[in-house]
Chains A and B, each alone.
Chain A
């Protein structure tokens, strides 16, 4: 029990001592996850809206596939991205393996189905007659989808929160694609794994606390935006 308490003590001291390396790690974690979430939202929300309102063959199959994608194991996403980005892989010329860029790509693949699927179900909660009505007023398809998305912005924000939460906590894909390289691709989750394995529990606790705090701060901000609109 004592080592847990002293671990927490040392961990908290470490945070407030302003350790530059730990903060750089936290910054990279945040950057990677925020950018990946943003990109996934940019594509996933309109895509989800489109899937929900359009009628096309195999629509149910597509939705089932997207829903399955919500449970995509991050290590599988990481493995696939790693294979594609490797030097002998088809995208090797990009030189993105073991870089933050590669980690962002892997995280986009993880977040995209989550945000798309939640957007689909949010959009399906809109009365289809509303969408038709906007169309008859002379709006184009995309304009009508945009109007409908505005109606359900609270639920869409919930999708954003879910996506970001998954990404910032994710360890498998960033470990495989990033390689946990010091000063380059080490993020909070991979650093926590490494420090835990090395038995440096105080550093691991410090990293874990920062991760929790970051996650809380971003979610708090998103929730405030959401509730202000409610």
Chain B
């Protein structure tokens, strides 16, 4: 107990010091709610380092699905969103939660499946056709099932295919993209994934692309500023700084370079016309 007696004050003192150190001036913290694909590919780390370089802001990025990211925007929890769920984004802005929605980036979704291809999907051009074949073959399909942008896209394709997969063959993962891909990989199931996450995980999984290139599979990313008029605690200045940074040449260069050395190709295509 004697030891403890001398240890406790020291610990508590460091506790206080530690606490203070980790409470930087709130106006310097920019809270970004974004999607797992941006984090899992590693792109976010690169951009975060570049953004924080000048020491003026600290980026706190919460990587969740687009649905949850917008939820964080709707409660004023985040300052800026980087999401990919166009229909929900439009609604989000229309309801007054966000401003300055700017689509700046795209890549595409791919339909992945086991190499054995039990649904004979390989080579199918139309995404909806591919889904129809998967359902008809009663092959396993893993869904994100987390209201993310990818999940919303998947539901849209099921709608377009006008079929419902049987319950026994439809696995709802409730996880991020990489977690869902891992499950699909273990279960030898079909799955809808964004190409960038797929490429970044390709070396770890055995699934192959069975359908790609359909216009319906385009994946557009947007930035949205959370409306400071609605939430007084939102760091509007910091959010704008990150917004301007992403829509700048240095960020464009980083994004366009990202993935070339590691994955042999660009992961995200930058399409915002910088003046």
Bind each other: yes
B-binding residues in A (CB < 8 A): 31, 34-35, 38-39, 41-42, 86-88, 92, 94-101, 104, 149-150, 153, 156, 179-182, 184, 194, 196-201, 225
15 further interface pairs, Cβ-Cβ under 8 Å (given A149-B1, A181-B60):
A38-B7, A87-B75, A87-B77, A88-B231, A96-B23, A97-B77, A101-B22, A197-B178, A197-B182, A198-B178, A198-B182, A198-B200, A198-B201, A200-B204, A225-B3
Judged by a CB distance under 8 angstroms, whether B165 is at the interface is: no
> Which residues of B in the span 122-146 have a Cβ within 8 Å of any Cβ on A?
none
Q: What residues of A have a CB within 8 angstroms of the CB of B62 in the complex?
A: 98, 179, 181
The 8 Å CB contact of A199, one of B19, B63, B182, is B182
Contact of A99 among B22, B61, B76, B77 (CB under 8 A): B22
Residues of B within 8 A of A38 (CB): 7-8, 11-12, 15
Q: Are B29 and A95 in contact (CB under 8 A)?
A: yes
Inter-chain contact A198/B40, CB cutoff 8 Å? yes
Q: Is the CB of A179 within 8 A of B75?
A: no
List residues of chain B with CB within 8 A of the CB of A153.
1
A95-B26, A96-B23, A179-B60 known; A41 vs B8 contact (CB < 8 Å): yes
Q: Quote the shortest CB–CB distance from A221 to chain B (angstroms).
A: 10
15 A/B residue pairs, CB under 8 Å, sorted by A: A35-B11, A35-B15, A38-B8, A41-B4, A86-B75, A86-B77, A87-B75, A88-B231, A95-B23, A95-B29, A149-B1, A194-B178, A197-B182, A199-B178, A199-B185
Least CB distance from B229 to A in Å reads 15
Chain B residues in the interface with A (C-beta under 8 A): 1, 3-4, 7-8, 11-12, 14-15, 18-19, 22-23, 26, 29, 31, 40, 45, 48, 60-63, 75-77, 175-176, 178-179, 181-182, 185, 200-201, 204-205, 231, 233
- Out of B1, B48, B182, name the residue touching A150 (CB < 8 Å): B1
The CA of A156 and the CA of B8, in the complex, are separated in Å by 14
B4 surroundings in chain A (CB, below 8 A): 41
Establish whether residues B233 and A34, one from each chain, have CB atoms under 8 Å apart when the complex forms. Answer: no
Closest 7 CB pairs of A and B: A199-B204, A197-B179, A38-B11, A198-B178, A153-B1, A197-B178, A87-B233
A42 contacts B8, CB within 8 Å? yes
CA distance in complex: A99, B20 (Å): 11
Given contacts A35-B15, A198-B40, A99 and B23 within 8 Å (CB-CB): yes
In the bound complex, residues from chain A placing their C-beta under 8 Å from that of B45 are 182
Query: Within 8 Å CB of B233, what residues of A?
Result: 87, 92
Query: Which residues of A are found within 8 Å of B75, using beta-carbon distances?
Result: 86-88
Chain B residues within an 8 Å CB radius of A156: 1
Interface centre among B22, B48, B181, by most A CB within 10 Å? B22
From residue A208, how far is it (CB to closest CB) to chain B in Å? Answer: 16
